[in-house]
Chains A and B, each alone.
Chain A
Amino acid sequence: MNFVQNFPFFSIVLSMFSGTISSVLPEKAAKILNTVLISLVGLMSGILLVYLMETGEPYVYWMGHFPAPWGNEIRAGVLEAGMALFFCIIMLLSIMGGRKKLFGEVEYSKHNLYYILVNLLLSSLLALVYTNDLFTAYVFVEINTISACGLIMIRQNGRTIEAAVRYMIMSLLGSGLFLISLCMIYDLTGHLLMSNIKESVAVLAAQGEYRVPLMVTIGLMCAGLAIKSALFPFHSWLPDAYGYSTVSSAAILSSLVSKGYIFLLIKIIYRVIGFDIVMQSRIIDILFIFGLMGMVFGSLSAIRESDIRRMIAFSSVAQIGYIYMGFGLGTEAGMTASVFHILSHAATKSLLFIAAIGLTDVSGGSRQFFDLTGAGYRNKMAGVAFTVGSLSMVGVPMFSGFVSKLLFAEAAIGHTYKMLPAVMVLALSTILNAIYFMKTVLRIYVPEHKADYEVITAKDEKEYAVTVACFILLNIALGMFSQPVQSWIHAGLAMFG
């Protein structure tokens, strides 16, 4: 076995282990350990990605050297390695961009707690990406929930505690549904490893046995993960959780935590149940409808919102709707578009949160719409960043959001009866996005001189400037050079099959 093949296991264990050590380290050491760890895991995932691209074959890694039906397994393909790399990049940038704010909002003595939570979150995300065992996935879903809850309430005020409670309640409902569906599928097939379940499910489907229990199981699984990733009717916890937590947490939650669950759902669709069986069921149509509703109602709520952070949070609801709409199309192209949108939304939403904090800082800490007047002149980099993020969200060519909208439209065209609703809602949602994002961009560039507000330049906050520049480059790279990314997604989804 090649040494590179150990890397997924190393990444998961290293991040979990450094979470444990961080608890006894001083704050500064914990911070350095965290940065080194995320970079190291990103580097390992990158090497693994190159290796897998060369071999072109996914591989299975036995944990504890027990063969297939008994042991626990890790599986790595191109898509998994690439996702791990991408998650590391976004996490590193989000933490860098919000570090100054972290000092203002969280007591210094609690900073190493923050890094423990971030490390645990990273390890659970990596485990969700790599695992080949459904029950292991459940355990790491719970670790993910707990650490995300900690990230919300690390900034102590009434709002965040209430948001954490609401987040926990919705998440626990979701994981309860996921757990019972997992027990049912174990009951139906007698396996917990994804590849073995898929074989048994294929046999069951071919024989036409247990049709109703199988459908109920798929439904519960989709519902559980949809609740956890804040699909439209289950998004009530989201604006508070994203709006009031410290900015790194908001960026990580919106761009990584919900994406981890969605990636697990993709794995379940492809590797546990089988693409064809899921697509033949009616469940996919329900996801489609809720996705469409989310795209419209998320944007409508964002238009009504005058608090900039909450507005960006509501925009997430709409974007999650896009991803589920792509699933609902039930084609390979729709899936590709959804995976691309996972990347593009993660890169854009964390940029928007980081930019928004730069704007509110130069407006006397106020997040209200009218107080932001002229903020784009007082903090030029945040202004540019917010503009880039908004343009990308609206779907202007050159930026990543455009490519994902294009892919969604291409996937929808040619579909017999889902084409019309999908394309119409896509257009409507783009207009709604444009209303609230462009309104804000115009507002921050209204020339108005307010002497009592401070002015921040790139020289004052070098780390922030570097972060924002990286985010903008990432966005433009995803938008301009989308072809390799698309072929990577295609190759990865093919390896799932």
Chain B
Amino acid sequence: MLGPNLFINYGEAVAVILFGIGFSNLLLQRNLIKKILGLNIMDTAIYLFLAEKGYIAGRIAPIVVDGVQEVEAYINPIPSGLVLTGIVVSVSVTAIMLSLTIRLYRRYHTLDLDEISLRLRKEELK
């Protein structure tokens, strides 16, 4: 049951695997830049999932040309709209994360989050 479905929907399967990779990178990497890369992989995987789901083979983008007006000729535009909105959101959170990383790097000259926590604890002991 799972086998043939997995093969037909290989695009979605790839998207979910990529999501997993991004998620674990964001969670487990110690380096902040690698964490941010993980974040972007995770978000992009979701857009891939939406794009895979939103496209119907043989149809075109919903822009009326040559007076063709049947519903069957076009794909649903909403998933693409969701992807666009999602990209805007992920760009802004990436920008915030990067700016925070710059702040931390200027203070502690390292990108390793655990190392930074260790130094903070030492700072407090003084």
Contacts and interface: CB of A to CB of B under 8 A. Distances in A.
A165 B100 contact: yes
Chain B contact residues: helix, strand, loop or mixed = helix
Contacts of B96: 146, 149, 168
Interface stretch (A30-38, A175-183, A273-281, A423-431): A175-183
A359 interface: no
Contact of B19 (A153, A172, A176, A187): A176
Contact of A176 (B16, B43, B82, B116): B43
Contacts of A396: none
B107 A161 contact: yes
Interface in A104-157: 135, 138-139, 142, 145-146, 149, 153
A168 B123 contact: no
A25 interface: no
B113 interface: yes
B60 interface: no
Contact of B27 (A153, A173, A179, A183): A173
Contact of B113 (A142, A165, A176): A165
Interface residues of B, number: 38
Contact of B100 (A159, A164, A173): A164
Size band of the interface chain A makes with B: 20 to 34
A435 B67 CA distance: 76
A176 B46 contact: yes
Interface of A is mostly: helix
A64 interface: no
Given A146-B92, A176-B43, A165 B101 contact: yes
Contacts of B45: 180
B46 A180 contact: yes
B120 A176 contact: no
Interface in A434-485: none
Interface string B5-32: 0000000000010010011001100001
Interface in B61-103: 78-79, 82, 85-86, 89, 92-93, 96-97, 100-101, 103
Given A142-B89, A177-B23, 17 more contacts: A135-B82, A139-B85, A139-B89, A145-B93, A146-B92, A149-B96, A159-B120, A161-B103, A162-B116, A162-B117, A165-B104, A168-B93, A169-B26, A169-B27, A172-B39, A176-B26, A176-B43
A-B pairs with lowest CB-CB distance, top 6: A142-B89, A176-B42, A187-B53, A165-B100, A161-B103, A180-B46
Interface of A: 135, 138-139, 142, 145-146, 149, 153, 158-159, 161-162, 164-166, 168-169, 172-173, 176-177, 179-180, 183, 186-187, 192
